[in-house]
């Protein structure tokens, strides 16, 4: 059984679930890693350390920035040559497009966001969440090759064998670009909630600190956002001490407290970290569907009747502006930071 594994990276920073996909491929037989774009050679070296038997690299200038059409054409051409049984991707914004387009080229289709994948003879049976994880379905793909994207953190990450290496095969870019990347906006910092093991989140409640006095000259809305930013600073402090990511409820995003890319829930990201700490989040169903599969959920809220407590393992009814900094201090001390 031969599996192509697409290693997804942004300017050399690899989406960790790519390595999880490599681990799954090894379970079925030989694993061929595929790396496109800038800094592809460094990524290729890591791919060997995570178990790739072979690595194919396309670092053509045409592939410098991710571009759906050229990336898909290059991948489809490579798949036609190598004739794998299976192509695996981590599930990211880029790979959903790329897998989708290559499936069109190769006359097959994609099973997305898998939480389980088993071989069955020369076929595969996959498990994936549907209806916002309210249900799961077992699916099969009758096309060849079988194409699948794997949900981050649903499969074990293989151990890294430092120093393990191999021969890197070069391939050329194929296809024609249909769009041009004009640039990146630096206004927003990177947020990768899908891969985060720990998420500390804030909701509307983070803007309600009565003890703060906003700077003079702000109107009511600006003052509210200023208060919320002070609240999110406390959320961020705890996230930093725990090495986690910062999440937010839709209410906080809609109120303009924090960018959309932080949103956990129905119209944001569905996450399943080991630890989720919800601060000032009441727990609307649209938020709960996005985080209820976290291993341990902690809720801090001033309202003892907030629905978030029904989903939580630990709860604190109290003033988050006092509890949160105290919790950050307690972890600093206990974790030796």
User: Binding to other proteins (CB under 8 A): which residues in 149-188?
Assistant: 178-188
Q: How far is the CB of 164 from other proteins (least distance, A)?
A: 28
137 lies in the site for other proteins, by CB under 8 A:
yes
Q: Which of 222, 220, 228 is nearest to 280 (CA)?
A: 228
User: Binding to other proteins (CB under 8 A): which residues in 97-116?
Assistant: 97, 99-101, 103-105, 108-113
Q: Which is nearer to other proteins, 169 or 286 (CB)?
A: 286
Scan for tokens 């890197």, then name that residue.
168
289 lies in the site for other proteins, by CB under 8 A:
yes
Inter-residue contact 82 to 2 (CB < 8 Å): yes
Q: What is the C-alpha to C-alpha distance for residues 123 and 118, in angstroms, rounded to an integer? A: 9
x/- site string to other proteins, residues 9 to 28, per CB under 8 A? Answer: -x----x-------------
Q: How many residues make contact with other proteins (CB under 8 A)?
A: 98
Pairing mode, strands 198-202 and 275-279: parallel
Neighbours of 81 (CB within 10 A): 10
Q: Is 27 exposed, middle or buried (0-12, 13-18, 19+ CB in 10 A)?
A: middle
Q: Which is nearer to other proteins, 168 or 270 (CB)?
A: 270
User: Binding to other proteins (CB under 8 A): which residues in 74-93?
Assistant: 92-93
Q: Which of 272, 223, 224, 205 is nearest to 245 (CA)?
A: 272
Q: How far is the CB of 2 from other proteins (least distance, A)?
A: 20
Report residue 288 CA to chain centroid gap: 18
CA distances from 174 to 52, 63, 65 (A): 23, 9, 14
41 lies in the site for other proteins, by CB under 8 A:
no
Q: How far is the CB of 84 from other proteins (least distance, A)?
A: 17
Scan for tokens 């390595």, then name that residue.
19
Q: Which is nearer to other proteins, 218 or 330 (CB)?
A: 330
Inter-residue contact 229 to 252 (CB < 8 Å): no
Q: Which is nearer to other proteins, 51 or 175 (CB)?
A: 175
Q: Which of 41, 123, 230, 286 binds other proteins (CB under 8 A)?
A: 286
x/- site string to other proteins, residues 246 to 285, per CB under 8 A? Answer: -------xx-----xx-x--xxx-----xx---------x
Q: Is 82 exposed, middle or buried (0-12, 13-18, 19+ CB in 10 A)?
A: middle
Q: Which one of the spans 46-54, 163-171, 216-224, 321-329 is the region binding other proteins (CB under 8 A)?
A: 321-329
Neighbours of 41 (CB within 10 A): 14
Q: Which of 1, 198, 223, 225 binds other proteins (CB under 8 A)?
A: 198
């Amino acid at each position: 059984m031969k599996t192509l594994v697409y290693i997804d990276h942004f300017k050399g920073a690899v989406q960790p679930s790519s390595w999880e996909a490599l681990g799954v491929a090894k379970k079925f037989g030989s694993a061929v890693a595929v790396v496109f774009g800038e800094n592809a050679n460094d990524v290729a070296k890591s791919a060997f350390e995570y178990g790739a038997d072979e690595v194919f690299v396309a670092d053509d200038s045409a592939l410098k920035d991710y571009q759906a059409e050229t990336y898909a054409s290059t991948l489809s051409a490579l798949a036609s040559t190598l004739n794998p049984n299976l192509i695996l991707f981590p599930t990211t914004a880029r790979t959903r497009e790329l897998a989708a387009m290559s499936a069109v080229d190769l006359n097959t289709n994609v099973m997305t966001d898998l939480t389980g994948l088993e071989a069955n003879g020369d076929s595969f049976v996959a498990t994936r969440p549907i209806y916002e994880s309210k249900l799961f379905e077992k699916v099969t793909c009758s096309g060849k090759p079988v194409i699948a994207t794997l949900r981050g953190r649903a499969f074990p990450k293989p151990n890294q064998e430092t120093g393990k290496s191999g021969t890197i095969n070069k391939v050329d870019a194929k296809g024609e670009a249909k769009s041009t990347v004009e640039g990146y906006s630096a206004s927003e910092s990177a947020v990768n909630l899908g891969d985060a093991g720990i998420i500390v989140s804030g909701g509307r409640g983070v803007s309600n600190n009565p003890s703060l006095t906003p700077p003079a000259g702000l109107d009511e809305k600006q003052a509210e956002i200023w208060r919320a930013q002070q609240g999110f600073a406390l959320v961020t402090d705890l996230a930093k001490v725990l090495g986690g990511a910062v999440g937010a409820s839709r209410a906080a995003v809609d109120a303009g407290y924090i960018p959309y890319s932080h949103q956990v829930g129905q119209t944001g990201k569905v996450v399943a970290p080991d630890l989720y700490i919800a601060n000032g989040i009441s727990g609307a169903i649209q938020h709960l569907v996005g985080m209820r599969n976290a291993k341990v959920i902690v809720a801090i809220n001033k309202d003892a009747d907030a629905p978030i407590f029904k989903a939580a393992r630990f709860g604190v009814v109290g003033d988050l502006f006092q509890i949160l900094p105290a919790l950050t201090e307690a972890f600093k001390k206990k974790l030796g930071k």
